[in-house]
Structure 1
Amino acid sequence: MSSFFNRFSWKYMSLKRVFHINLRSHQYRQLNSGSGFQNCTQEGVKDVETEESNKFVPFLERINLRRSESKRSILVQVQSAESYKELYTCCSTVGTVKNMFHYTTGVEPMHFILVEFTKESDVLNILSTSSYSDESQAVPTQSQFLWFKASNRKLGKLKQNKSFKLSIQNGTEIIAESEVRDKLRQCRTVSDQMNVLYDITKLNDVGTRLRYLIARQIESMVSGMFPYASVYPFGSSVNGYGKMGCDLDLVLRLMDKKQNDSRLIFHSKATSGSDRSINQRYVEAIGDQIYLFLPGCSQVRRILQARIPIIKYHHQLTDVECDLSMTNMSGVYMSDFLYIMGELDDRVKPLIFTIRKWAKEVGLTNMSPGRWMTNFSLTLLVLAFLQKPPNSQPVLPSLNALVKLAGPDDKYVTADGIDCSFLRNLNKYNTRTKNRETLESLLTEFFEYYSQFDFASKAISLNEAVTLTKPEFSAMYIINPLERGLNVSKNVSLEEVERFRQEARNAAWMLQSQEKKIPNWGLLSVFENRAKMDFKLNFAINAKHSRLMNVKTLFDKEEEVVFKNEEIKQEIREIKKETRQNIKEIQGNMKRQNTRR
């Protein structure tokens, strides 16, 4: 029955494509080129990315630029946004202020100003002149997180610089869902909607700066015993696919310096036990320090039995959820790969943002871990699709194509011996895609492709940009591009895979059957809650029989669908009529078989 409906559904959708194709523009519009979404972009100062103009900045180079930025910054709690004038005067007596960013957090709310200086030595001078709280119970910890007490007479006499202005105010404010929808309604095309969604929800410069400052706080904490320790952010905060309010993943390396051939060697404490048990003890000890000493860190949990032991905590001063692990850099190198994929073509990030938003709206992803798909799995599904779209030219290369182009500077191997070598500098990559499909076309093709994908027997590989036979049973099998023995989607259940296919089919149907005449057109119709969609598939599962479809939900309940052509409308009527008759015959045959039993 399920395969029968698939044939019916795609007979309709193929027919729709014939009549709809002439309305699509197959000329790819570059991001930010003459459309109505330009006014929806986030305001603020130019970050590392825009300062580099059109030149590609390699991932690890960008990481180091941001880390340098964090070493030249402090975060100060203030009374209000207007406090920046006095704060600027105070800081200018010690160093040279380059930028000041304001944001709020909490219900009250609490006001903060992120101050960036021109030199790292300015921050050291600020910290050396700062004082500790008078409270006897306060732990006298020195960090780049401070608060600005009420002014006194001496400070009041200092001349204020009226020409200096805040670089941004309310820098971490997340746009309301109602405002997102209003902006999407104002767009002209689905492609414009996708670009607007990306522009107004992506992680901005202030959010990025705060996350690197959190990483810097951990570095400073351990720098006494481990002066060459480094903390690297990875995941959505740095790979280009992060949205406002996203979590922060961190990895701590206690030794991040190449050894020299000096004859003088430091005495060190010998360790005993397996690498895993040692790592667990280290993570537990670091967790204790965060819990006891670091300001702004609360709800500290040590997850020691996970495959990779981590510390989870909430950073109250920045309102960011953090996950800290140790030693393994594979997450950083994976972020590097995803970052490169996003930089290769301007359509990649808006498409991924749209798919993630759709998955959240229809209930395919969940904040809690479990049987659901994750944003990471969805991202890899999008990239795999773009490597080999069924109806157009490839948009992205395979990972192996980048591996073949890797040079000596691209050689990276993790502590576990995982080879993570691939071309990292796209300035050396000369191949450009011939694909000129619009974002709308790619979105529809994505939904069509995965609604028919054989998840039962096929695995998805980004290494060769092909589908492979599953090496082992799993409802969905996405090969980890770097750690090839791992299945990224091992947690996903059969039920969720089937729901993913159904929702993809529904989304493709909605994109092809509606025009802009209705208020919630385009992406808004795709984002409609799954429970409100009338043509949702309902299955009654019986142990003795195959799955039966509730056809009534497909045909008996009328739905306002705007057809773009009367001929299509008539064709759909005929398909429905023929389908009802075929289903009646199938049901009659099943009843007769049951009677014979």
Structure 2
Amino acid sequence: MSFLTRAMTGSVLYMTNNCYCKLTQNCAQVKFHRKNFSKTFIENEWWCSARFMCSGAPEPTNKTGSYVVYDKLIAQRRAEAQRSIVIQVLSYNSCADVYTYCSQFGSINKIFHYSINSGGEKQNLVLIEFEEKQHVDAIMSSSTHVNYEQAIPTNTSLLWFRNLVHSKTKVKNVPPEQIKLTKNSIKTADSGEITKKLLCSESISDQILTLYNTIKLNDAGTRLRFHTAYQIEHCFSNLFPNIAVLPFGSSVNGFGKQGCDLDLCLVLDENSMEKPTSRLVFQTKSISLYDRQQVKRLMEVLAQTINLFLPGVSNVKKILEARVPIIKFDHSLCGIQCDLAVSNMTAYYMSELLYIFGETDPRVRPLTFVIRKWADSLHLINKTSPGPWISNFSLTLMVIFFLQQRNILPSINALKSKACKDDIRVADTYVDCTFLRNIEQIPKSTNTDSLEELLVDFFTYYTKFDFNTNAISLRIGKPIKKSERTPLYICNPLETNLNVSKNVSSEQLDRIMMSMQNALYHLEFHSNERNDQWGLIGLFLMNQTNFIENTRKKKLLNFKELFEKDNDVLTTS
């Protein structure tokens, strides 16, 4: 069996090598990206310097309140993933034993307990971050395989903790009170918990902040997503030493909630810059990312490899006919659903742009969360299948565009006008992704509206918006005329010729408009009624199809009753 395993491994590596040994990384289009990404990771030593690795990565959320540049944030999170391991344990009570055992290999920065349901069974796991990468290397060297006749002997930082009855290793126990362990660190709050917290809030603005802080993706959830990315990175690192698997989307831009999907972008050579003084050149094969058949063949091999060899990966599906081909899979040991694309750098920079907008003003993300929660509660969005519904991404762009009208956020053109040489980015098919990266250079907004006021104004603005003739443009920051006849036109912020809401039907837009009118009515006439449905609670419980209609019917005269009363008067007289 071991011979068969080695044969399978060799076969897949042979297929991988024949399918791609040199990815051109979108040729000249992303040379700017390579230069800046390399500069971020190498010159500033955020990624691999001994000083950084020994001191431990600082928390990405800067405690002084100063802005953390996106590339630095990503670098910090990737460094954390390299210093981390995931261990499956019997129960939560095993965590102290795991901590004690692992402490002999190096100092532990943080430890998180979490549980997931896999196949109807509850599994307990811990995520441990060490101070240095060499501590993880020591753990890996000490770990072992079992059942060699059946196991594919891959070495990953996904482990399980077994109990040895006759262990000769003497380890000094660490008192439980000294272990700063976070229990159930990725637990998602249910509707009952959320409602209880909202009822205890002082105002609608307080409710919005409470909702945001309750359901947003936390530190442990983010760490698990970067650890999942690192697993794929590590899988192909022997063939591609400079490979990078970069999370993008809501997992990293600050708009993600607990349990959100993980979007991944695979770049086979993040530092692919030619060395002009070297006389030795690698022998490679070639691939063109503009040849769809070659890309599909590449992704076939990627899907087969991670499905065969990566622990925890299951339910692998290839969606290769989409505009951007992806591989969907579940990671059962991290409890995450993943979408993997190849060199989709435009989406990566889109995440950076949303991150910048979210960091510019502290009201952006809470307001976006409550709008998306409202739409989800009224079934205006559908996460399970494509169709005529509006997406969370489109709703996020609508919130940002509204805040541009209130002079809280700048237009993308304004960000581009302030960009310097180091901000230049060009990705994929010549998509201009140049905009100011350091928001400390953006003047602070003088708008002081509360979150409640902004929520009301959001619904007011869009109930009056002329969707028949106008499109939403974040690049200009103002409504523009539609270039095509679609019910809802939201310009892609980076690929401006694309409409991100092209799928939304006229029926669904009508539902959205009616729901906004219902929401506006509720907030204006019922927001101060302190009962079990006040504020956001009632907003999320509204029936979008009959709320206003029923209210109007109560105000209409019942002519049948009037005639009956008249008849009674006539008969009695």
Query: What TM-score comes out, normalization by structure 2 length?
Result: 0.84
Cα deviations across residues 163-211 of structure 1 (Å, max 9, x unaligned)?
A: 6314311101111111101110111110000000000100000000000
Matches within 5 A, 1:309-458: 309-367=325-383, 368-389=385-406, 394-429=407-442, 431-458=443-470
* Residue number in structure 2 paired with 1:246: 260
Give 1:123 shift. Answer: 1.0
Give 1:519 shift. Answer: 1.6
* Residue number in structure 2 paired with 1:294: 310
The range that moved more, 197-206 or 360-369, is 360-369
Report if the CA contact (8 A) 2:250-2:256 is conserved: yes
Tell me which of 50, 70, 84 is aligned to 2:81: 70
CA distance in 1, matches of 2:109, 2:220: 14
CA distance in 2, matches of 1:66, 1:494: 42
Task: Read off the aligned partner of 1:555 and give its amino acid letter.
Answer: R
Report if the CA contact (8 A) 1:344-1:396 is conserved: yes
Tell me which of 47, 53, 69 is aligned to 2:64: 53
- Identity rate of aligned residues, in percent? 42
Give 1:272 shift. Answer: 6.8
Task: Read off the aligned partner of 2:240 and give its amino acid letter.
Answer: F
Secondary structure in structure 1 of the residue aligned to 2:329: strand
Given the superposition, is the C-alpha separation of residues 155 and 382 from structure 1 closer, same or farther in structure 2, using an over 3 Å criterion?
farther
Report if the CA contact (8 A) 1:239-1:339 is conserved: yes
Report if the CA contact (8 A) 2:306-2:313 is conserved: yes
Task: Read off the aligned partner of 1:174 and give its amino acid letter.
Answer: T
* Residue number in structure 2 paired with 1:544: none
Given the superposition, is the C-alpha separation of residues 272 and 366 from structure 1 closer, same or farther in structure 2, using an over 3 Å criterion?
closer
Give 1:129 shift. Answer: 1.6
Give 1:155 shift. Answer: 5.5
CA distance in 2, matches of 1:194, 1:289: 44
- Whether 1:259 and 2:270 are equivalent positions in the alignment is no
CA distance in 1, matches of 2:201, 2:227: 36
Task: Read off the aligned partner of 1:439 and give its amino acid letter.
Answer: L
CA distance in 2, matches of 1:155, 1:525: 62
* Residue number in structure 2 paired with 1:564: none
Secondary structure in structure 2 of the residue aligned to 1:325: strand
Given the superposition, is the C-alpha separation of residues 153 and 123 from structure 1 closer, same or farther in structure 2, using an over 3 Å criterion?
same
Give 1:280 shift. Answer: 1.4
Secondary structure in structure 2 of the residue aligned to 1:114: strand
CA distance in 2, matches of 1:457, 1:203: 37
Cα deviations across residues 21-46 of structure 1 (Å, max 9, x unaligned)?
A: xxxxxxxxxxxxxxxxxxxxxxxxx9
Report if the CA contact (8 A) 1:452-1:501 is conserved: no
The range that moved more, 130-139 or 434-443, is 130-139
Cα deviations across residues 457-494 of structure 1 (Å, max 9, x unaligned)?
A: 11100011111111111111100011111111011111
Give 1:498 shift. Answer: 0.9
CA distance in 2, matches of 1:145, 1:201: 27
Tell me which of 221, 228, 235 is aligned to 1:207: 221
CA distance in 2, matches of 1:76, 1:168: 15
Give 1:324 shift. Answer: 0.2
- Whether 1:511 and 2:523 are equivalent positions in the alignment is yes
Task: Read off the aligned partner of 1:212 and give its amino acid letter.
Answer: F
Report if the CA contact (8 A) 1:406-1:422 is conserved: yes
Give 1:284 shift. Answer: 1.2
Cα deviations across residues 309-344 of structure 1 (Å, max 9, x unaligned)?
A: 100001101111000000121111000110111111
Given the superposition, is the C-alpha separation of residues 410 and 287 from structure 1 closer, same or farther in structure 2, using an over 3 Å criterion?
same
* Residue number in structure 1 paired with 2:185: 171
The range that moved more, 87-96 or 166-175, is 87-96
CA distance in 2, matches of 1:264, 1:156: 49
- Whether 1:122 and 2:135 are equivalent positions in the alignment is yes
Matches within 5 A, 1:105-254: 105-106=116-117, 107-134=120-147, 136-154=149-167, 157-162=170-175, 164-254=178-268
* Residue correspondences, number: 496
Given the superposition, is the C-alpha separation of residues 274 and 386 from structure 1 closer, same or farther in structure 2, using an over 3 Å criterion?
closer
Report if the CA contact (8 A) 2:205-2:452 is conserved: yes
CA distance in 2, matches of 1:273, 1:365: 33
- Whether 1:490 and 2:505 are equivalent positions in the alignment is no
Tell me which of 91, 97, 105 is aligned to 2:102: 91
CA distance in 1, matches of 2:137, 2:58: 24
* Residue number in structure 1 paired with 2:566: none
> Which sections of structure 1, spanning at least 5 residues, go unmatched?
1-45, 538-552, 559-572, 582-597
Give 1:151 shift. Answer: 3.2
The range that moved more, 104-113 or 395-404, is 104-113
CA distance in 2, matches of 1:117, 1:155: 25
Task: Read off the aligned partner of 1:248 and give its amino acid letter.
Answer: L
Cα deviations across residues 337-375 of structure 1 (Å, max 9, x unaligned)?
A: 101111111111110000000000111111121110000
Given the superposition, is the C-alpha separation of residues 331 and 251 from structure 1 closer, same or farther in structure 2, using an over 3 Å criterion?
same
Given the superposition, is the C-alpha separation of residues 509 and 211 from structure 1 closer, same or farther in structure 2, using an over 3 Å criterion?
same
CA distance in 1, matches of 2:359, 2:287: 42
> Which sections of structure 2, spanning at least 5 residues, go unmatched?
1-56, 560-573
Report if the CA contact (8 A) 1:363-1:530 is conserved: no
Give 1:47 shift. Answer: 7.8
Tell me which of 485, 488, 502 is aligned to 1:476: 488
Secondary structure in structure 1 of the residue aligned to 2:121: coil
Report if the CA contact (8 A) 1:127-1:144 is conserved: yes
Report if the CA contact (8 A) 1:371-1:491 is conserved: yes
Report if the CA contact (8 A) 2:62-2:68 is conserved: no
Report if the CA contact (8 A) 2:471-2:489 is conserved: yes
CA distance in 2, matches of 1:489, 1:272: 30
Give 1:225 shift. Answer: 0.6
CA distance in 1, matches of 2:479, 2:365: 23
Report if the CA contact (8 A) 1:47-1:205 is conserved: no
* Residue number in structure 2 paired with 1:79: 90
Given the superposition, is the C-alpha separation of residues 109 and 466 from structure 1 closer, same or farther in structure 2, using an over 3 Å criterion?
same
CA distance in 1, matches of 2:160, 2:395: 41
